[in-house]
Structure 1
Amino acid sequence: MKNLRFEDLESRLAEFAAARDWDPFHSPKNLAMALAAEAGELLEQFQWLTEEQSTRLTDERRTAVALELADIQLYLVRLAARLDIDLVSTAHRKIDLNAEKYPVEKSRGHARKYNEL
């Protein structure tokens, strides 16, 4: 599949859910819970790995991680759509807010939280 755009994902996902009559089950609460469950499945892929191992995944593990990330993205996109949230513009806004909380001159080179800068 070439020329895939993020914008097309929301409509394709909505069509997928509608064809299966899943809209009644896709409440924000249920989607948020499913999103959390999928995040747990992603964590499972890294459980017991060393820091080094987590940066050099086997092809099999990398594929499993990619599929878990896709599950997370799908639930996130569906949840945002159900709540009428423009996820891309909101993500850009959040980066701007984080830039204010974490100015380069104070946060460069360490992982302290904004209230510890």
Structure 2
Amino acid sequence: MRALQRRLAAFAAARDWQPYHTPKNLATALSVEASELVEIFQWLTPEESARVMEDEKSAARVEDEVADVLAYLLQFCEVLGIDALAALAAKIDRNEVRFPAAKR
């Protein structure tokens, strides 16, 4: 993941985009890209949504939007110095306490 963050930073630097990669702008862009992912599924039934990757064209759209969401999230984390994997692990730890598994 760190290598991808460096690659994204180099891509932005080569285009002089760093002034635009503020936390606010990156959070906004992340939201827009997440909305574009949601748009693909907007009018699908639950069954259709489960089969979305079976169609080559829709699968490509989903993969592109997932890539956009991840790219902006990684850039957001880079700018703010967040270790995304550590943040996720900590969140899972908190959720395990907050939402204990039902005993069977």
* TM-score (normalised: structure 2): 0.93
Tell me which protein shows more helix as a share of its residues. Answer: 2
1:56 match: 51
Secondary structure, counterpart of 1:104 in structure 2: coil
Indicate whether 1:80 and 2:50 are aligned. Answer: no
Secondary structure, counterpart of 2:81 in structure 1: coil
Runs of 4+ in 1 over 6 A off after TM superposition: none
The unaligned stretches of length 5 or more in structure 2 are none
TM-superposed CA distance for 1:105, in Å, is: 1.2
Measured in 2, the distance between the counterparts of 1:10 and 1:73 equals 10
Q: Which has the higher contact order (CA 8 A, sep 6+)?
A: 2
Matches within 5 A, 1:1-117: 6-57=1-52, 58-105=55-102
Q: 1:71-99 CA distances to partner (integer Å, 9 max, x unpaired)?
A: 00000000010001111111111111111
Amino-acid identity (%): 48
Q: How many residues align?
A: 102
